[in-house]
Amino acid sequence: MPKNFTLPMTLTPYKGIGDPKVHVTKFESMMFLNSDSNPILCQSFPTFLDEAALLLFSNLPASSISSFNEFAKLFINYFVASKIYVRDSDYLSTIKQGQHKSLKDYMICFTTAAIEIPDLNPEVHLHALKIGLRPRKFQEAIAVAKPKTLEEFRDKAIGQIEVEELRKARRMERPPSQKEEERPHRSQNKDLKKPFKLTPKFDSYTKFNTKRENIIKEILHNKLIKPPSKAGTYQDQKYVDRNKYCVFHQKYGHTTDECIVAKDLLERLARHGLLDKYVTFRNQKEEAKDIDKLSHGSDHKDKGTWHGAVATPSSKGEINYIL
């Protein structure tokens, strides 16, 4: 070996997979600056072989190689089946600029694929490059300018890439707007928002001689009222207590005695004299006062209150309750 010879170490050893011709070409290019001597090339080449390729060299008969060209030809022919599939020009038509891909990324991706296609026609290259652009202002500008060569197209693409890079830099430098700063606080306030809860509609309630649950069961059985068509929405049904059940709503999550809707409904019925048998004592003067207050308040419908149709003490039939 020459006294000042240095073996290049940047070439990845060939293992038997890939284009063998490309490997030989890379090896010759690296060795060109060191030596083009046949003996040196033949002695250095096995250093860049591994696995199946190195096994091939080890099995060659002694003194069977007379020149590097002969060695390279034998090597290429032996691993010709290992050549990776090479795409043709039709593959370029499948490369598209996505909605979120920049023109710079598109050009890099397209150029990388085009380099791997041997003997690519420049006109086919240019046509596929135009077709792959996403339908935006740059594609319209290309359609108007009609570049006839790849060089003309690249000149216009470089200008558009510079514009996109400038816009990107401005977006990164731009301080967040006041609305964006308020968004996290709004979302936090939303998370911390207390769940909707019904409030009682009366200042005082009638004392019954039995549980409200028993009264609800009986008046439902006698069809004095109808159960609500839809369950109340004031309780989160994802995390309900299955040990509690409301006879009125016919659902879990709270008891009948805890149910504010049922409590208000029974109070209305009681003040209309429909639940007298469940009332232990009620002063007539107080009853008249409450009925007068109830009739006066019916003219003013507050937001969020429920409305029920109730029968007068003298009327008969069923009461339709609307939630």
| DSSP element (H, E) containing 63 | none
Q: Is pLDDT larger for residue 2 or for residue 259?
A: 259
Strand, coil or helix: what is 225?
strand
Q: Is pLDDT larger for residue 259 or for residue 185?
A: 259
What pLDDT sits at residue 322? 42
49-75: per-residue pLDDT in tens? Answer: 888 888 888 888 888 888 888 888 888
Q: Which of 87-91, 212-216, 234-238, 277-281 has the highest mean pLDDT?
A: 212-216
d(CA 298, CA 213): 27
CATH assignment, 89-171: 1.10.1200
Of 73-87, 254-268, 303-317, least confident by mean pLDDT is 303-317
Sign of the Cα pseudo-torsion (46, 47, 49, 54, in order): positive
Of 32-41, 229-238, 260-269, least confident by mean pLDDT is 229-238
For a pLDDT cut of 90, what percent of the chain falls above it? Answer: 10
| Residue 101 and residue 35 in contact, taking contact as beta carbons nearer than 8 Å | no
Rounded to two decimals, the pTM is 0.38
Band of pLDDT at residue 293, cut at 50, 70 and 90? low
| Residue 217 and residue 290 in contact, taking contact as beta carbons nearer than 8 Å | no
d(CA 251, CA 7): 84
| Residue 122 and residue 150 in contact, taking contact as beta carbons nearer than 8 Å | yes
What pLDDT sits at residue 153? 93
Q: How many CB atoms lie within 10 A of CB 202?
A: 15
What pLDDT sits at residue 182? 55
- Degrees (nearest 5) of the Cα angle 183, 189, 192? 145
| Residue 134 and residue 142 in contact, taking contact as beta carbons nearer than 8 Å | no
129-181: per-residue pLDDT in tens? Answer: 999 998 888 888 898 989 999 999 999 999 999 988 888 888 888 776 655 55
Q: Is pLDDT larger for residue 318 or for residue 14?
A: 14
Band of pLDDT at residue 295, cut at 50, 70 and 90? low
Hey, what are 184's tokens? 């996290």
For a pLDDT cut of 70, what percent of the chain falls above it? Answer: 72
DSSP state of 206: P
pLDDT at 307 over 50: no
pLDDT at 20 over 50: yes
Residue 118: φ, ψ to 5°: -70, 145
Strand, coil or helix: what is 226?
coil
What are the boundaries of each domain within the chain?
Answer: 20-82, 89-171, 192-323
CB contact set of 17 (below 8 Å; sequence gap of 6+)? 82, 84
pLDDT at 88 over 50: yes
215-254: per-residue pLDDT in tens? Answer: 888 888 887 777 776 554 545 556 677 788 888 888 887 8
What pLDDT sits at residue 186? 54
Of 12-26, 28-42, 290-304, least confident by mean pLDDT is 290-304
Band of pLDDT at residue 33, cut at 50, 70 and 90? low
Nearest to 278 by CA among 208, 221, 231, 218: 208
d(CA 16, CA 287): 102
Nearest to 268 by CA among 320, 230, 231: 320
Nearest to 167 by CA among 217, 225, 115, 103: 103
